[in-house]
Amino acid sequence: MVAYSWGLSNLGKGDEVLVSLMEHHSNIVPWEITAKIKGFTIKYANVHPDGTLDYDDFESKISKKTKIACLSHVSNVTGVINDVKRIGKVAHDNGALMLVDGAQSMPHMKVNVQDLDMDFLAFSGHKMLAPTGIGVFYGKKEVLEKMPPFMGGGEMIKEVSVSQGQCSVSWNELPWKFEAGTPNIGGAIGLGAAVKYLEALGMDNVLSHEKELTKYASERMKECSKVTVYGPSDLSKKLGIIPFGVKGLSSHDVALFFDNYGVMMRSGYHCAQPLHEIFKLESSARASFYIYNTQQEVDRFLEVLKEFEQL
């Protein structure tokens, strides 16, 4: 939405977009596509070998040429929490906008768009107990009002008139201007139910539960000599995600092994190939915890993990 609706109208040759190397592909590929159309430059901010953001490098690359800074609030590979408020201030001081990928933060912690001063925030529903195919796009009203619609169709127009072969079109008010066609009604209802459920639980409780499981699992994983955990060792700076590798095995072999024991996990690049290049990895396995997980399930995960010690 931002890359096409805002980017195609506001970016051109001489302009720069700043993105970190820990981003999910969804915060890289749209900019690469639109850059080829409009001719603007994309700069990439570095990430430290432990998966944490190089703030000095990110901030040094923000200049008056920078029109928008793009950063994930939480890495979907390592669970690292980024100080988006700090980056946003530097961006705003240079006249740039701030786009935050909240797909991994919104389901797990309190997020206040006004306190963090985000210009744009995007997140998906299926990460937070909602159906697939539904998500949320937030933008500051004054910015959204200046943006043209991304897609055309029903609902997003106020009036269409044809006179003497000439067509006149006016856009609907926010948010309908960006809601072309029949909406995903079922998905929206499901997302609303998920939000109410999480609010009833309390996001502080959600975060606390995740951190307890992550700390417990991280400490116990140290008992496995063939296992290497990637990302920062300081658990206070991350959420409930543990990327790891098993000596001599690909991440897909690891995931398949766990699957045979009824334990589900993710394997591969996790749609974040540049970050894996920094880690010098072909891929990684990823254990992740949420509100529905228990310590007993973590014990089962660790029990299966120790099976690799016998191979």
Would you tell me which CATH number, out of the four given (3.30.750.24, 3.30.70.20, 3.30.70.2190, 3.90.1150.10), belongs to the domain 202-310?
3.90.1150.10
Which residues belong to CATH 3.40.640.10 in the chain?
A: 2-150
State the average pLDDT for the chain. Answer: 96
Q: What is the mean pLDDT of residues 105-126?
A: 97
Q: What is the CATH number of domain 2-150?
A: 3.40.640.10
What is d(CA 95, CA 221) in angstroms, rounded to the nearest whole number?
45
Rounded Cα distance between 242 and 229, Å, is: 7
Q: Report the distance separating Cα 59 and Cα 299, nearest Å.
A: 42
* Catalytic residue IDs: 271
- The predicted-structure confidence for 193-236, as pLDDT tens digits, reads as follows 999 999 999 999 999 999 999 999 999 999 999 999 999 989 99
Other C-beta atoms closer than 10 Å to the C-beta of 89 total: 15
**What is the pLDDT confidence band of residue 311, given thresholds at 50, 70 and 90?**
confident
**10-21 burial string, b = 16+ CB within 10 Å, else e?**
bbeeebbbbbbb
User: What residues does CATH 3.90.1150.10 cover in the chain?
Assistant: 202-310
For residue 269, the SS3 value is coil
Over the stretch 159-193, which tens digit does the pLDDT of each residue have? 999 999 999 999 999 999 999 999 999 999 999 99
Amino acid at 172: N
